[in-house]
């Protein structure tokens, strides 16, 4: 009987072991399933992930603006992604976030990206109509802003006197910067220039900003400026005279126009202490002169050298009446 009892006991142990094995397999399967669920959850891309991928190759400043605006809008959406928010809600959110029509348009643009562009869809007609409404508001706000600025516009005489002062004080970089801004009415960013003698000294004429300065020509070449995607490579010769040639001769070659100003903040600071007023002040002064003379030809020159359109200048400064004088 003893051997039989041992056999029964062994069978019970085996059965128990099999039961534990089955339980372990079930538990293991559940854990694997759970792990797979976690993995799948990690693989699911959020709307923001897709937005970041879409603009991965965009300039740092552009990405920063888009991502900050996305966060501002998303924080107001009560946990919803932007592609789950209807247009009427996003309009209210944009108005809540800012009274500026330009800012509201930027917020609507982020919503549009998530609802249309990232999904390869065409923008809806209601969205287009509301953007048109915002653009009219932007134009009105710009006119008011420019009107206020024009009340304290710098005179041409003051600007020229300041140039002479920079030359007399042997502040060569400042003098050349003043000349460039006055003649081209360009933006601050455009003055991130490397000075060279000849075109042969430029590694790639289609990359970066350059100042070619010699006895034959003084030319500003721009590839890195606000509207470069629209207007491309720009080359503008400055008006040659003895003072400009002499000032350029003192500039170190293969260095920045303002040595050491190797980022926007440093350049802005150097220009603040070099120009008579900011670059918009120079533009306002020239616009004021055009208002008096009605010279729309000069407006076309400004549009060309600044990298903008005549229509934009006419609208921003309320100069439409000049078209009647053509």
Q: Quick check: 193 and 212 in contact, CB under 8 A?
A: no
Count of C-beta atoms within a 10 Å radius of residue 245: 14
pLDDT at position 4 is 45
CA dihedral (287, 290, 294, 296) in degrees, to 10, reads: -70
Is-contact 300 310, C-beta < 8 A? yes
pLDDT in tens, 63-73: 888 899 999 99
Flag whether the pTM goes above 0.85. no
**What sign results for the dihedral spanned by CA atoms 187, 192, 195, 198?**
negative
- Produce one character per residue of 16-44: b if its CB has 16 or more CB atoms within 10 Å, e if not: eeeeeeeeeeeeeeeeeeeeeeeeeeeee
Cβ atoms of 215 and 233 closer than 8 Å: no
Report whether pLDDT(11) > 90: no
pLDDT for the residue numbered 319: 67
């Amino acid at each position: 009987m003893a051997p039989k009892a041992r056999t029964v006991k062994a069978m019970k142990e085996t059965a128990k072991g099999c039961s534990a094995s089955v339980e372990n397999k079930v538990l293991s399967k559940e854990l694997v399933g759970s792990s797979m669920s976690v993995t799948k959850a990690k693989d699911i891309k959020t709307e923001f992930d897709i937005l970041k991928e879409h603009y991965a190759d965009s300039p740092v400043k552009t990405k920063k603006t888009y991502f900050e605006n996305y966060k501002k809008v998303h924080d107001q959406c009560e946990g919803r992604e932007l592609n789950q928010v209807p247009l009427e809600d996003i309009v209210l959110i944009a108005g809540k976030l800012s009274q500026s029509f330009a800012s509201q348009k930027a917020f609507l643009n982020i919503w549009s990206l998530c609802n249309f562009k990232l999904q390869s869809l065409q923008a809806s007609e209601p969205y287009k109509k509301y953007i048109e409404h915002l653009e009219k508001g932007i134009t009105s706000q710009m006119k008011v802003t420019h009107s206020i600025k024009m009340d304290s516009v710098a005179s041409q005489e003051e600007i020229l006197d300041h140039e002479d002062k920079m030359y007399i004080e042997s502040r060569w970089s400042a003098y050349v910067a003043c000349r460039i801004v006055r003649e081209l009415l360009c933006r601050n960013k455009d003055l991130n220039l490397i000075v060279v003698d000849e075109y042969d000294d430029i590694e790639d004429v289609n990359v970066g900003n350059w100042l070619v300065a010699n006895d034959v020509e003084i030319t500003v070449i721009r590839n890195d400026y606000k509207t470069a995607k629209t207007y491309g490579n720009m080359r503008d010769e400055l008006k040659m005279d003895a003072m400009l040639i002499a000032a350029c001769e003192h500039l170190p070659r293969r260095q920045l126009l303002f040595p050491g100003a190797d980022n926007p903040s440093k350049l802005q600071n150097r220009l603040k202490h070099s120009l008579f007023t900011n670059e918009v002040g120079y533009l306002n002064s020239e616009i004021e002169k055009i208002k008096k003379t009605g010279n729309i030809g000069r407006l076309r020159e400004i549009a060309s050298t600044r990298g903008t359109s005549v229509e934009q200048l006419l609208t921003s400064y309320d100069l439409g009446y000049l078209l009647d004088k053509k």
